[in-house]
Amino acid sequence: MKRFVAFLAMTAALTTAAQDKPFAIAIHGGSGTITRTTLSPEREAAYRTVLTEALEAGRKVLAANGTSLDAVVAAVKIMEDSPLFNAGKGAVFTHEGTNEMDASIMDGNGRRAGAVAGVTVVKNPIEAARAVMDKSRHVMMAGKGAELFAKDQGLAIVDPKYFWTQERWDQLQKAKERDRIQLDHDAPRKTSEVAENEKLGAVGAVAEDEKFGTVGAVALDKAGNLAAATSTGGLTNKRFGRVGDSPIVGAGTWAENESVAVSATGTGEMFIRGVAAYDIAARVKYKGASPQQAADDALVTVKSLGGRGGVIVLDRTGHAVFSFTTEGMYRGVAKGEAKPEVLIYR
69/84 with CB nearer a second copy? 69
Give the C-alpha separation, 153 to 298, whole Å.
37
21/199 with CB nearer a second copy? 199
Q: Is 83 in the site for a second copy (CB under 8 A)?
A: no
Beta carbon of residue 181, minimum distance to a second copy (angstroms, whole number):
18
Q: Is 241 in the site for a second copy (CB under 8 A)?
A: yes
Q: Is 303 in the site for a second copy (CB under 8 A)?
A: no
Q: What is the DSSP letter of 67?
A: -
Q: DSSP secondary structure string, 112-181? A: EEEEEEEESSBS-HHHHHHHHHHHSS-SEEEHHHHHHHHHHTT--B--GGGG--HHHHHHHHHHHHHHHH
Site for a second copy in 142-161 (CB under 8 A): 142-146, 148-149, 152
**Residue 132: how many CA atoms within 13 Å on its side-chain side?**
27
SS3 249: strand
Query: Is 214 among the catalytic positions?
Result: yes
Q: Is 202 in the site for a second copy (CB under 8 A)?
A: yes
Considering only the stretches 79-87, 130-138, 222-230, 330-338, report the one whose residues sit in contact with a second copy under the rule CB under 8 A: 130-138
SS3 79: helix
Beta carbon of residue 207, minimum distance to a second copy (angstroms, whole number):
15
Considering only the stretches 35-43, 167-175, 178-186, 193-201, report the one whose residues sit in contact with a second copy under the rule CB under 8 A: 193-201
Cα of 282 vs its chain's centroid, Å? 20
Site for a second copy in 270-299 (CB under 8 A): 272-275, 278-279, 282-283, 286-287
Angle between helix axes 41-63 and 68-80 (nearest 10 degrees) is 160
* Residue of 67, 214, 232, 253 marked catalytic: 214
Angle between helix axes 192-201 and 166-186 (nearest 10 degrees) is 180
138/178 with CB nearer a second copy? 138
Site for a second copy in 98-127 (CB under 8 A): 110-113, 117-118
Residue 41 corresponds to which amino acid?
Answer: P
Q: Is 203 in the site for a second copy (CB under 8 A)?
A: yes
118/332 with CB nearer a second copy? 118
Give the C-alpha separation, 237 to 99, whole Å.
10
Q: Binding residue for a second copy (CB under 8 A) from 30, 88, 216, 250? A: 250
Q: Contact, 31 vs 309, CB < 8 A?
A: yes
Q: Is 130 in the site for a second copy (CB under 8 A)?
A: no
Give residue 75's region: left, alpha or beta (phi > 0; psi -120 to 50): alpha
79/248 with CB nearer a second copy? 248
- What residues are annotated to the active site? 214
Q: Give residues in contact with a second copy (CB under 8 A).
A: 110-113, 117-118, 135-146, 148-149, 152, 193, 196-198, 200-204, 239-244, 248-251, 254, 268-269, 272-275, 278-279, 282-283, 286-287, 305
